[in-house]
Amino acid sequence: MIVMEQGPEVVIQSNTQAELRVERTDISFEDLSGECVRIRVRVHNDRPVRSKRTLMKLESAPLGAFVPWRPLAELPVPPIEPGESRELTIDVKRPEPVPLGSFDRIPPQKLLAAAVGSPDEPSRPNRRFEAMAKLFQRQTPGRSTKSTTTIGLLAPDLMELLGRGNRYWAGNINVFVGARPVERHMARALRVYPGCTNLAAFVVGVGGPSDAYAFDIVGLGANWQAALYDMTNGKTLVVNSDVKPIQENKWVEAAAGMSLILALHPPADCGEGNVEVHVTKRSSQKTAIVEFNLDPDAQGSGCYFV
């Protein structure tokens, strides 16, 4: 069993209303069927006054860190009483990407191109959304808050692109309540094969300018082994003896994004557990957390194993 270390929480505070707060762990998502993913977001009101109605903006991205976001949906946030919280849910359609080929034959650059696709502009507060939020706050109290405008599909699941379809969609969800975003990056119930070397893919820095990134693997339990590999310039995503692992907490230069492989070797008697990869961007000193929930009994193809 992997014992998790406590990761830092990311908090947002809205300038437009009574101190609404969302933490990273307040965002969750799970598949209801092969086509539908339910996203849950818990919003807290920490102030001693009732919050106003506002809008929540949702975006998605492929599994990784510092990758382009694409619009997903807008949800109404009803007034929340002082000291209370409210869980909002939305069901969105899961994409059905055509696999790029076999995991052991796909060039990493091909995965990077598929991850970017035709992304929208990177996330930032925009006047259109802020204007809509202000308009929504001025609506009369008796008007319904149940309407939702869905903008697009979820971003593609990288493991599905690699021919390793799984029960649950893996990716990033970004939430705006007010001007600041809070993100969760997660692969849930990813099947691992005990006693084997398991490979899982994610991307970093895709679609952005050149930068450098540092990595830290958190949460490994006894008898587990793990390493990160930069396969960006390799012929395939499969790690071999010629590839050296990334040194943790060292800056790694990236010109136009990275195709990364998390290699895990669980013991033969492993159970369910979790691993986090903490990714820090040098230019901003911001850290994103990519989570892997691992289960030898999970449905789907799961990790590629050797």
CA gap 297, 299 in Å, rounded: 7
Among the listed residues 280, 272, 257, 265, the one whose alpha carbon sits nearest the alpha carbon of residue 207: 257
Asked if 15 and 179 touch (Cβ cutoff 8 Å), the reply is yes
CA gap 14, 119 in Å, rounded: 26
For 20-305, CATH number out of 3.10.129.10, 2.60.120.200, 3.10.20.440, 2.60.40.1510 equals: 2.60.40.1510
Identity of the residue numbered 33: S
Half-sphere exposure of 200 (CA within 13 A, CB side): 32
Residue 124: per-residue pLDDT = 42
List the structure tokens of 191.
């099947």
CA gap 216, 231 in Å, rounded: 17
Residue 151: per-residue pLDDT = 65
Identity of the residue numbered 72: L
Domain limits, the chain: 20-305
List the structure tokens of 194.
């005990």
Q: What is the pLDDT along the chain (306 residues), one digit of tens a residue?
A: 333 333 444 343 444 445 799 999 999 999 998 789 999 999 999 999 999 999 999 999 999 999 999 999 999 999 999 999 999 999 999 988 899 999 999 999 999 999 887 444 333 444 444 444 444 444 434 333 444 555 678 999 999 999 998 999 999 999 999 778 999 999 999 999 999 999 999 999 998 889 999 999 999 878 899 999 999 999 999 998 889 999 999 999 999 899 999 999 999 999 998 999 999 999 999 999 999 999 999 999 999 999
Asked if 117 and 248 touch (Cβ cutoff 8 Å), the reply is no
Among the listed residues 255, 252, 205, the one whose alpha carbon sits nearest the alpha carbon of residue 229: 252
300: left (phi over 0), alpha (psi -120 to 50) or beta: left
For residue 92, give every residue at least 6 positions away whose Cβ sits within 8 Å of its Cβ, in sequence order, or none: 36, 37, 39, 72, 73, 150, 153, 154
Predicted TM-score (pTM) of the model is 0.84
